[in-house]
Each structure stands twice: as C-alpha cells, then as structure tokens.
Structure 1
Amino acid sequence: MKRNRTGALLTAIAGAAMWAFSRMSWISAEYNDDLSGTGQAFITGAEWSTEITAVAVLLIAGGVAAFALRKVGRRVVGAICALAAAGAAVPAGLLLARGADHERIQAILTAGAEEAATDTSSSTIANWAEITGADVAALGPVLTLLGCVLGLVGGVYLALKPGDDAPRQHKYEKEAVRKETIRSDLKEEPDSGRVMWDALDADIDPTAEGDFQSPRPTS
C-alpha cells in the first residue's frame, strides 16, 4: 500500500502546485492606446494556457481517487495523469523557448474588453490597442514545468507500481469459512439450539456433523 500512497500523493501534490503556479504572472505586456496612451498589462499562466488549470484539477482528483480505487483502476488513473501532465508541460516550455507571441497576447487581453469597460481592476485593454513589447517572467512557467514533471513521475509511478489491494474475501470464501465455523461449533456444542439453527440456515445437516444431540428443552 505504500507504493500506492506514494504515487497518489505525488500526483495530487503536483496538481496543487500547478494550480498555484498557474495563478502567477507569466507575461508583462506593454501596449499603446491612442486614447489612453501607453500602459502595462499582465497575463497569468491560467490565462495563457487554460488547459493547465484543467490538468491541475485532474491530477488532484486522480490522486484522491487512487486511494479508493482497486489496483487496475489505479493503473488507469496513473497513466491518464502522466499523459495529462506531459501535455500540460508543452505550453510552458514553448513560452520559455520562443517567448510570447504579440498577436496571442492581444487576443487574450482584448477578449473581455467590452465586459471590462466598467471594471477598472481588469487587465484587459481596448480592441484597438497595440502591443509594443512583452517580457516573460520565467519563474511561473519554470515552477509549472517542475509541477508537470512531478505529475508525470507520480502518474508513471502509480501506473507501474500501484501497490497491492487490501485483502477482500470473495463471498464464496466467506461462506466456506462460515460453514467451517458452524461445523466446529456443532462438534463443541452439539446440544446448542443456536448452533443448530445456524447450521440449518447454512444448509448443513446437524445430524450428520459429529455427535449431534437434540437441544434439551427448557423448563
């Protein structure tokens, strides 16, 4: 069970880390608005790559579910989490390698321009504003990549070493154990009315088990 817990914990921790790091500011963009002049806006990791949030939730849910699932289920969950974590690493990796595309920055910042008209705290900009520069804050993407790696390791570990299931007797095994216990009781307490009724309930002929005696009537 330790292996199962290790993989599940790594996966859940990775999801929580990715969720937190995706809330950090990844990009600071400078823009020029003909009406309001120049300004600066910020884009978080969740805004730049919406799939990161979805993967983070998936990893957390997968890690929690692994504690309740059987061995095969843990393998499946581990494989899914590993693939999802690997896929979530792509946007952060590309951002660090290629930088931020100005057209995409403008699309993100102008996406809610109309709704943001009365929201002075929003980072959205006017549709006609021009992006003049962009800087990538590497800390957020790097930490998110580390979270993805942790999720990948946790998922693979869970898939390859899901641990053993807790013993769970099959119903036929339980029935066999129950009958054996009743037979033993018949030998030890052949005159017990309770044991006789237990035997009849379990389809055991009490007269064929040991030295059976009819239960003595009570006065």
Structure 2
Amino acid sequence: MTRGGLFGVVALALLLGAGGLWGATRLDWASTRVAVTGHGAVGDVPLAVTGAQVAPVLVGLAVVAVAGVAAAVALAGVARRILGVLVAAAGLGGLVVALVSWLDPPSAAELPGLVGSAAGGAAAVPGATVSTTAAPLLALVGGLLVAVGGVVLAVADRRLPRMGAKYDAPGAGRPRDPERTAWDELDSGVDPTTEGAFSRPERAD
C-alpha cells in the first residue's frame, strides 16, 4: 500500500470512528417507566435517555478523533507519534465508557436524574425495570476504529506521507529542455544565439 493510501485508510478509520461515537450519543440507550406528578399528568409514562445523557464524554472524544485527522496532516515524526498515542487513548476511552454503560446501565431510579429538568417531578415506578438498546454497540465500534487509527499513526509514522514532501526541491534531477531554455532567454531579452559569442575569450593574433 502506498503512503497516501495508508494515510487515507487511517483518516477514514478516524472519521468513521468519530461518526460512530457521535452518532451513538444521538440514540436512546435505556428506558424505563416513571410516575409523573403535576403538569396535568397522572400515572406512569415511558422515559428514555440518550447516549449523550448516559455518556456525554463520547461527544468530546468524537471531536478529538476528527481533530486528529487534521493534526496528522500537519505533523510528522515524534509529534505525529505522540498524536497517535493521544488519539488511540481517546478511542480506548470511548470503547470502555460505552462498554461499561452498556453492561451496567443506569438504574430506574437514576434515569430521571439523567434527563434533568425535562423529567419534572418524575420518579421511577416501584419495581420498574430498565430496558437497554443496542445503540452502545455503535459507540464500541467507533471507539475501536479510533483506537486502531491512533495506533497506526503512532507506529507507522515513517510509512505515512509528510506534508509538502513531494514539493521539496522542485525540478531536482530533471534535465532542462534546451528549446524551453532558449524561449525563456528570449522572453527575458537575451538573444541565445549571440550570448555565447560574448562569453568566449578572444584569441591573440
């Protein structure tokens, strides 16, 4: 795989991972039934919480992953390897947060507090259970992609392109075209057919 191709794969992994982390926060992660008093409502109603309410840190980790793509373009060497470690840590953090939140979701009593003022005076219905969704899996995949992308940045820096490297020493090693050179000299006001005559030393009689 070429350097540019490898960097493209890394960038795609980070962007997809960031999308997975952010997208998971927009989905419902858990729900229960709560008793609502006041506001003209009586009885129990369903209450769901999103990933952003259960694990708000995932939004920040998604931003880190996107910023890592831009930074990776501008950095190289030790700086890019350090960036890779930080990005990998962000991905692992997102993976762990999503896994823990999925395996150990908030209790029915905790859910109204996560929703905040929107839940009003809601309280968990006695004996209510919490239903979870598969949305955290999206965050798990996103965190894994970000972590892998960060690891590649850290360990394969030498195989990744460096910004501006292909523009170093423009024209180096390329033979000059004599015809093009002659036209350039004419454009600058020099007659290439006579220039050499003035540069030759005169022979003594």
Which residue in the other structure is 1:39 paired with? 45
Which residue in the other structure is 2:90 paired with? 84
The 5 A counterparts of 1:172-183 are: none
Deviation (angstroms), 1:94? 1.4
Which residue in the other structure is 2:161 paired with? 164
User: SS where residue 71 of structure 1 aligns?
Assistant: coil
1:98 maps to a residue whose letter is D
2-structure distance, mates of 1:97, 1:43:
16
1-structure distance, mates of 2:186, 2:104:
84
1-structure distance, mates of 2:119, 2:47:
8
1:87 maps to a residue whose letter is G
1-structure distance, mates of 2:52, 2:143:
14
2:23 maps to a residue whose letter is A
1:101-122 Cα distance to aligned partner (Å, 9 max, x none): 345322212x23xxxxxxxxxx
1-structure distance, mates of 2:43, 2:21:
35
Which residue in the other structure is 1:116 paired with? none
Question: How many positions carry a matched residue from both structures?
Answer: 178
2:154 maps to a residue whose letter is A
Deviation (angstroms), 1:76? 3.2
User: SS where residue 214 of structure 1 aligns?
Assistant: helix
2-structure distance, mates of 1:24, 1:59:
20
CA RMSD of aligned residues (A): 3.3
User: SS where residue 19 of structure 2 aligns?
Assistant: helix
1-structure distance, mates of 2:153, 2:124:
45
Which residue in the other structure is 2:9 paired with? 6
Which residue in the other structure is 1:131 paired with? 124
Which residue in the other structure is 1:17 paired with? 20
Deviation (angstroms), 1:193? 9.1
Which residue in the other structure is 2:144 paired with? 149
What's the % identity of the aligned pairs? 21
2-structure distance, mates of 1:135, 1:102:
6
1:44-67 Cα distance to aligned partner (Å, 9 max, x none): 10121111111112212322443x
Which residue in the other structure is 2:57 paired with? 51
Deviation (angstroms), 1:75? 2.6
Which residue in the other structure is 1:95 paired with? 101
Deviation (angstroms), 1:16? 1.0
1-structure distance, mates of 2:102, 2:44:
26
**Mapped pair 1:71 → 2:55:** no
1:151-175 Cα distance to aligned partner (Å, 9 max, x none): 1111111221131323343xxx67x
2:198 maps to a residue whose letter is S
2-structure distance, mates of 1:62, 1:92:
21
Deviation (angstroms), 1:40? 0.9
The 5 A counterparts of 1:98-117 are: 98-109=104-115, 111-112=116-117
User: SS where residue 41 of structure 1 aligns?
Assistant: strand
Deviates more, 1:136-145 or 1:21-30: 136-145
Which residue in the other structure is 1:206 paired with? none
**Structure 2 gap segments, 5+ residues each:** 200-205
1:10 maps to a residue whose letter is A
